Amino acid sequence: MKIAVLPGDGIGTEIVAEAIRVLDALELDFEMETALVGGAAYDAHGHPLPEATLKLAKEADAVLFGAVGDWKYDKLERQFRPEQAILGLRKNLGLFANFRPAICYEQLVGASSLKPELISGLDILIIRELTGDIYFGQPRGRRTAVDGHFPGAEEAFDTMRYSRPEVERIARVAFEAARKRSKRVTSVDKANVLETFQFWKDIVTEVGKEYPDVALDHMYVDNAAMQLVKEPKKFDVVVTGNMFGDILSDEAAMLTGSIGMLPSASLNASSQGLYEPSHGSAPDIAGKGVANPLATILSAAMMLRFSLQQPEAADRIESAVKSVLASGLRTGDIWSEGTKRVGTREMGDAVVAAITKKTITG
Ligand code: IPM
Ligand code: MN
- d(C-alpha 160, C-alpha 61), whole Å: 31
Catalytic residue among 43, 123, 158, 246: 246
pLDDT grade for 359, boundaries at 50, 70 and 90: very low
- d(C-alpha 220, C-alpha 304), whole Å: 34
What angle, rounded to 10 degrees, do the helices at 311-326 and 344-355 form? 120
pLDDT in tens, 205-252: 999 999 999 999 999 999 999 999 999 999 999 999 999 999 999 999
Helix (H) or strand (E) holding 121: none
Task: Tell me the ipTM for this assembly.
Answer: 0.99
* Strand locations in the chain (E): 2-8, 31-34, 62-67, 97-103, 123-129, 141-144, 154-157, 184-189, 215-220, 237-240, 263-267, 273-277, 329-330, 340-341
pLDDT grade for 21, boundaries at 50, 70 and 90: very high
Residue 123 has pLDDT above 70, yes or no: yes
SS3 142: strand
Is 246 marked active-site?
yes
Q: Look at residue 360 in the predicted model and tell me its pLDDT.
A: 47
As a whole-number percent, the residues of the chain with pLDDT over 70 amount to 99
Instruction: Look at residues 9, 26, 93, 74 and name the one whose alpha carbon lies nearest to residue 300.
Output: 26
From the CA of 128, the nearest ligand is 1
pLDDT in tens, 324-333: 999 999 999 9
- d(C-alpha 115, C-alpha 117), whole Å: 6
Q: How much distance in Å is there from the Cα of 155 to the middle of ligand 2?
A: 25
- d(C-alpha 149, C-alpha 62), whole Å: 48
In whole angstroms, how far apart are CA 322 and each of 20, 183, 213, 261? 18, 26, 32, 11
Mean pLDDT across the chain, nearest whole number? 95
As a whole-number percent, the residues of the chain with pLDDT over 90 amount to 92
Residues 63 and 225: beta-carbon distance below 8 Å: no
Number of C-beta neighbours around residue 45 at 10 A: 14
- d(C-alpha 157, C-alpha 218), whole Å: 28
Residues with CB under 6 A from ligand 1: 83, 86-87, 246
pLDDT in tens, 260-292: 899 999 999 999 999 999 999 999 999 999 999
pLDDT in tens, 147-192: 999 999 999 999 999 999 999 999 999 999 999 999 999 999 999 9
pLDDT in tens, 47-83: 999 999 999 999 999 999 999 999 999 999 999 999 9
Q: Look at residue 358 in the predicted model and tell me its pLDDT.
A: 54
Classify 278 in phi/psi space as left (phi over 0), alpha (psi -120 to 50) or beta.
alpha
Is 42 marked active-site?
no
Residue 44 has pLDDT above 90, yes or no: yes
Domains of the chain: 1-95+262-362 (3.40.718.10), 123-255 (3.40.718.10)
Helix (H) or strand (E) holding 83: helix 83-93
Q: Please give the number of the atom of ligand 1 that sits closest to the Cα of 250.
A: 10
Residues linked to residue 63 through DSSP beta bridges, in sequence order = 4, 274
Q: Please give the number of the atom of ligand 1 that sits closest to the Cα of 249.
A: 10
> What DSSP state is assigned to residue 149?
S
Q: Look at residue 126 in the predicted model and tell me its pLDDT.
A: 97
Q: Look at residue 207 in the predicted model and tell me its pLDDT.
A: 98
Average confidence (pLDDT) over 111-134: 94
Q: Look at residue 49 in the predicted model and tell me its pLDDT.
A: 98
pLDDT in tens, 287-326: 999 999 999 999 999 999 999 999 999 999 999 999 999 9
Angle at 323 between CA 320 and CA 326, to 5 degrees: 155
Catalytic residue among 9, 105, 133, 190: 190
Is 222 marked active-site?
yes
- Atom 3 in ligand 1: residue holding the nearest Cα: 83
Residues 343 and 335: beta-carbon distance below 8 Å: no
Q: Which of 87, 90, 251, 278 to mutate to test the pocket of ligand 1 (most atoms within 8 A of CB)?
A: 87
Q: How much distance in Å is there from the Cα of 281 to the middle of ligand 1?
A: 11
Residues with CB under 5 Å of ion ligand 2 are 246
What angle, rounded to 10 degrees, do the helices at 344-355 and 294-306 form? 40
